[in-house]
Amino acid sequence: MLGALSRNRPLLALLRGGNGGDKAASAALWAASKRFMSSDNTITVREALNSAIDEEMSADNKVFVMGEEVGEYQGAYKVTKGLLQKFGPDRVLDTPITEAGFTGLGVGAAMYGLKPIVEFMTFNFAMQAIDHLINSAAKTNYMSGGTINVPIVFRGPNGAAAGVAAQHSQCFAAWYGQVPGLKVLVPYDAEDARGLMKAAIRDPDPVVFLENELLYGESFPVSQEVLDPSFTLPIGKAKIMREGDDLTIVTFSKMVGYALKAADELAKEGISVEVVNLRSIRPLDRETINASVRKTSRLLTLEEGWPQHGVGAEICASVVEESFYYLDAPVERICGADVPMPYAANLERLAVPQVRLGSVGLYGSRVKKRCADACM
């Protein structure tokens, strides 16, 4: 790996210092971004990520992509489609199957002033490189007294997919969310994916960008503002996806869609649900969460990860600490089952939250009954 780097003269030139990007190309970015929008003003999450990376690479020649199959194969999930043809092999680097190797190389390049985007084919494989993420990327700025920044993005699919069993189905949001020095982002729709990816690439600190495999092909409506090359979303700010008065559901990633469907079902029963899309696990927007709970007086957290020490547990603790006297009912959590992910399809469905008629999740009926009782 290091030998390959030594032979990569353009990349070494960037390591020694660049001109900060071809600003002449920025005028063309707005027109180029329009090609992703369909006739009904929607784009997929995959297209949102691809366009964001494309535009940031065009605007700043210190940004480059590396990972397994990101180039010739166009990405395992086609997120990097077309980038090799546009930017060449010096900025879209296919790596060997060695997460520990290419992640360490990426962290070193970031310390030297480049802006790597490291793709993991799945975040389950990032466990091979977790020392580089935690001990090198996350801690170097602190341990150097603020003199060394590590502007790097670690991205790839996270959480349960379908039929890939225990070793390929874990949600790492709580794992990385505990680590000082990391920023952890969890996009849901195309707006999230595009705005947060641009913000992550521009950020001076290491960002763990947890996507969901099952959302890549989902289409979402977007505005002209979202397609503007200057569009970004603030890191650490949640979004109210649906306003309500009776119950707050706080969730992230794929589960946002489930929460919105559950809110539609509960509305039929006269229960008004507010849905909070976290967008960011670290930093966590405690202000928005607590403001919503103080309005509705009830809290339900929803995630597909395991319950113990999960994201929902931290949210519940924050609400109990800051808004306890506003609560009219006990807080509730809906999580994945506390077991390794089964391979059998019928058991897999039982291991993660599901939207059911009139309720949501493994414990949806109990939650619905409590909400209904509290609202009477």
Q: Are the C-beta atoms of 338 and 308 separated by less than 8 Å?
A: yes
What DSSP line would sit under 105-154, residue for residue?
A: HHHHHHHTT-EEEEEPSSTTGGGGGHHIIIIIITTHHHHTTT------EE
Instruction: Give CA–CA dist 32/264, Å, rounded.
Output: 37
Q: Select which of 69, 168, 218, 322 is catalytic.
A: 168
Any catalytic annotation for residue 168?
Answer: yes
Compute, in degrees rounded to 10, the torsion defined by CA atoms 89, 93, 97, 98.
140
Structure tokens at 229: 């090359």
Structure-token match 């993660």, residue found: 352
Query: What is the per-residue burial (b if ≥16 Cβ within 10 Å, else e) of 117-137?
Result: bbbbbbbbbbbebbebbbebb
What are the angstrom distances between the C-alpha of 99 and each of 3, 33, 83, 91, 104? 17, 31, 21, 18, 8
Q: Select which of 55, 56, 68, 99 is catalytic.
A: 99
Any catalytic annotation for residue 309?
Answer: no
Residues with a known catalytic role? 99, 168
